[in-house]
Amino acid sequence: MRNRRIFLLFLALILLCTASLTAAAATAVELTATDKAALGKTITAAAAAEKAVINKLYQDLITLQQLEQSRDSSIKSVHIKNEEALLTLRRDIKLIDVEKLKLLDKAVQQARERYKPLFALYTALNKQIAAVKKLKIKELNALLSAQADAMKLAVQAARQEIKARESLLQAAKNHAKAAKKRIQETLSAITFVKIRIKAERNAASTTKKHIGPQLKMFKQAVKKTNVEGTLESLPALVAQVRHIVARKGTILDLENQISAIIDKAKAQLPSKR
């Protein structure tokens, strides 16, 4: 129950962080009703060829914004799915062969406990033999030695059984350790992918900083019905949004790469038999 609560807490934090990240990354190119009306007047005032260019650029801007929203949604969805999968996978990694190791360890402990009286009796008998040798009582020494010889085979068999059980336990520990290491090595590739994602986000963020001034120039141009100013500011605005959308496309590809790495790591989990 406690583990489930911790898992749900981590998941809630992931959702919160992801939502904040997506909201911060959205490109703020918003045109009010007044801006749109001013753009309509500017298009009306433009020559035929200029109208076609402005209309095309404006449609491109709308299409790019829709595409950006779609990519933001996809990035968020894949990212959350990845983080959930990683939490589950890391829990599964910790549980590799846990039950098997418990059973094998229990078998070792049980064997040690079972043969403890035998070992104690054998040790005591050998101490008696050593003490009797000092007394030089041949008959008693011979009797005790015969008893020790009779027990020796049982003691050796007991030790071999314990050793065999310990070997099985150690082999299982080595197997679990190797499996965990192999999976962790696969997952380590995610670190480099996340570095690339951060670089793409930084590049998009840098471009986004230029959108505000460019959008202001565009709005001022359409407000003044300035066709030339509109034709200067709108292409740059569209190019900046296109650049951000391209970066987000790369981020989505990288998130999908993380999904593939997680799937590969999952496939390396030992089968439960």
pLDDT computed for residue 26 by the predictor: 61
235 occurs within a structural domain:
yes
User: Quick one: average pLDDT of 186-207?
Assistant: 96
Lowest mean pLDDT among 24-33, 39-48, 118-127: 24-33
CA atoms of 261 and 198, how far apart (whole Å):
18
What is the residue-wise DSSP string for 208-228? HHHHHHHHHHHHHHHHTT-HH
203 occurs within a structural domain:
yes
- pLDDT interval class at 23 (50, 70, 90): very low
Residue 6 has pLDDT above 50, yes or no: no
- Does one domain contain both 117 and 249? no
DSSP E strands in the chain: the ranges are none
In this structure, which amino acid lies at residue 15?
A: L
Residue 137 has pLDDT above 70, yes or no: no
- Does one domain contain both 215 and 162? no
- Does one domain contain both 110 and 171? yes
272 occurs within a structural domain:
no
CB atoms within 10 A of CB 240: 20
Last residue of a domain, one of 145, 178, 211: 178
The phi, psi pair for 120, rounded to 5°, reads -65, -45
Last residue of a domain, one of 178, 201, 221: 178
- Does one domain contain both 11 and 61? yes
> What's the pLDDT tens digit per position in 202-230?
999 999 998 989 989 999 998 999 999 99
Residues of the chain with pLDDT > 70, as a percent, come to 84
pLDDT computed for residue 134 by the predictor: 62
- Does one domain contain both 89 and 118? no
- Does one domain contain both 92 and 200? yes
Say how many domains are in the chain: 2
- Does one domain contain both 187 and 83? yes
- Does one domain contain both 10 and 90? yes
Residue 129 has pLDDT above 80, yes or no: no
b/e 63-79 (16+ beta carbons within 10 angstroms → b): ebbebbeebbebbbebb
- Does one domain contain both 205 and 231? yes
Between 60 and 10, name the one with better pLDDT. 60
pLDDT computed for residue 126 by the predictor: 77
- Does one domain contain both 211 and 93? yes
Last residue of a domain, one of 153, 178, 203: 178
Between 129 and 24, name the one with better pLDDT. 129
149 occurs within a structural domain:
yes
pLDDT computed for residue 18 by the predictor: 46
- Does one domain contain both 71 and 83? yes
Question: Residue 89 half-sphere exposure, CB side, CA atoms within 13 Å?
Answer: 22
- pLDDT interval class at 182 (50, 70, 90): very high
Residue 74 belongs to domain spanning: 2-97+181-267
Residue 164 has pLDDT above 90, yes or no: yes
* CA 168 to each of CA 104, 178, 247: distance values in angstroms, whole numbers, following the listed order: 7, 15, 53
